[in-house]
């Protein structure tokens, strides 16, 4: 039976990994290639890299990081952050990423999803969604609204409607980040995750709020997520991937135990 995936997420700025706490106060914690190797050997099922480099000129540093990661680990990894068009996607995929994730650019220009899926296949295209709870309304029926540009810009788009539309356009997977839960380590946004996951046929990766193994159990069962993103709880050594998988296994969640 298919295993639920545990996916460490590495934020990278100008070639160094950071961990953003609610998108602020980033601190340097290491070399992305070494961290990728570490998590690969520790039993991560996949890795996610977010390039948060602000300066456009320095963005090709990330391509070099992707190339070196691809030579080092032999599990899938995706790269997101600053992907604006099909050429950006191609550069990341040719450098060796398995998947590329689009977020703000897809909201502004949904065609990037269909063009990317046509050029590289749906399996390569991950839709990143940053979502905030704003209360149910006529305009936002699910109560969850899409936020772009690192949590700053609201466009009046309902998260559930956007997820369904993106799937139709050819997204192969959704990485669903709750702005409310992100950085709190108080647990994933279960309601949001289950609403999206139950209404699309593509896999959903839950993101934001992981602080302890119990949170992953909740989101992979009640939240109906297919995979769970983790960051601080492993980056600072509080838990190992083995700890998390052993716990999930004891709860009856199917995980990959041999690597």
Catalytic residues: 11, 130
Q: Is 3 in the site for another protein (CB under 8 A)?
A: yes
Helix 241-250 to helix 32-42 angle, to the nearest 10 degrees?
Answer: 30
In whole angstroms, what separates CA 68 from the centre of its chain? Answer: 20
Residues 10-39 that bind another protein (CB under 8 A): none
**Residue 254 backbone dihedrals phi, psi, to 5 degrees:** -75, 120
Q: Interface with another protein includes 149 (CB under 8 A)?
A: no
45 contacts another protein (rule: CB under 8 A): yes
Is 112 a residue that touches another protein (CB under 8 A)?
no
60 to each of 87, 124, 149, 159, how far by Cα in Å?
A: 13, 20, 20, 31
Indicate which single residue of 98, 165, 232, 243 sits in contact with another protein (rule: CB under 8 A).
Answer: 98
Task: Specify the 3-state DSSP secondary structure of 46.
Answer: coil
1 binds another protein (CB under 8 A): yes
Q: How far is the CB of 253 from another protein (least distance, A)?
A: 12
Distance of closest approach, residue 5 Cβ to another protein, in angstroms: 5
Does 86 bind another protein (CB under 8 A)? Our answer is no
- Measured from the CB atom, the residue of 2 and 138 that comes closer to another protein is 2
Decide: helix, strand or coil at residue 138.
coil
Contact region with another protein (CB under 8 A), list: 20-28, 30-38, 133-141, 195-203:
195-203
Q: Work out which of 147, 195, 227, 228 binds another protein, going by CB under 8 A.
A: 227
- By CB under 8 A, the residues from 229 to 258 that bind another protein are 256-258
CA distance 125 to 166: 10
> Tokens in use for 204?
């959903």
- Nearest CA to 149 out of 104, 191, 114, 188 is that of 104
CA angle 57, 175, 212 (to 5 degrees): 110
Tell me how far, at minimum, the Cβ of 70 lies from another protein, in Å: 6
Q: What does the alpha-carbon distance between residue 32 and residue 96 come to, in Å, rounded to a whole number?
A: 15
Task: Please pick, from the candidates 47, 189, 226, 233, the single residue that binds another protein as defined by CB under 8 A.
Answer: 226
Integer CA distances (angstroms), 192 to 41, 145, 198, 237, in order:
32, 10, 10, 28
Window contacting another protein (CB under 8 A); options: 9-17, 72-80, 133-141, 182-190? 72-80
Residues that bind another protein in the complex, under the rule CB under 8 A: 1-5, 40, 45, 70-71, 74-76, 93-94, 96, 98, 120-123, 172-173, 201-203, 226-227, 256-259
């Amino acid at each position: 039976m298919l295993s639920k995936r545990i996916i460490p997420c590495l934020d990278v700025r100008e070639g160094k990994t950071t961990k953003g706490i609610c998108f602020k106060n980033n601190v340097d914690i290491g070399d992305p290639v070494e961290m990728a190797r570490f998590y690969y050997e520790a039993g991560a099922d996949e890795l996610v890299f977010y390039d948060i480099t602000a300066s456009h000129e320095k963005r090709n540093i990330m391509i070099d990081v992707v190339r070196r990661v691809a030579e080092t680990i032999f599990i899938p990894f995706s790269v997101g952050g600053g992907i604006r068009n099909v050429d950006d996607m191609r550069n990341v995929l040719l450098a060796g990423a398995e998947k590329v994730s689009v977020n703000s650019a897809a909201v502004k220009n949904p065609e990037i999803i269909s063009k990317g899926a046509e050029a590289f296949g749906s399996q390569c295209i991950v839709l990143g969604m940053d979502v905030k709870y704003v209360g149910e309304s006529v305009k936002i029926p699910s109560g969850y609204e899409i936020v772009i540009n690192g949590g700053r810009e609201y466009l009046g788009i309902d998260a559930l409607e956007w997820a369904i539309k993106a799937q139709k356009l050819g997204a192969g997977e959704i990485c669903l980040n709750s702005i409310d839960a992100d950085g709190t380590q108080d647990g994933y946004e279960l309601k949001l995750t289950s609403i999206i996951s139950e209404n699309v046929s593509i896999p959903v990766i839950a993101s934001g709020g992981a602080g302890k193994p119990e949170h992953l159990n909740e989101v992979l069962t009640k939240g109906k997520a297919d995979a769970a993103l983790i960051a601080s709880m492993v980056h600072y050594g509080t838990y190992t991937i083995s700890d998390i998988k052993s716990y999930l296994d004891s709860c009856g969640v199917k995980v990959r135990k041999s690597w």
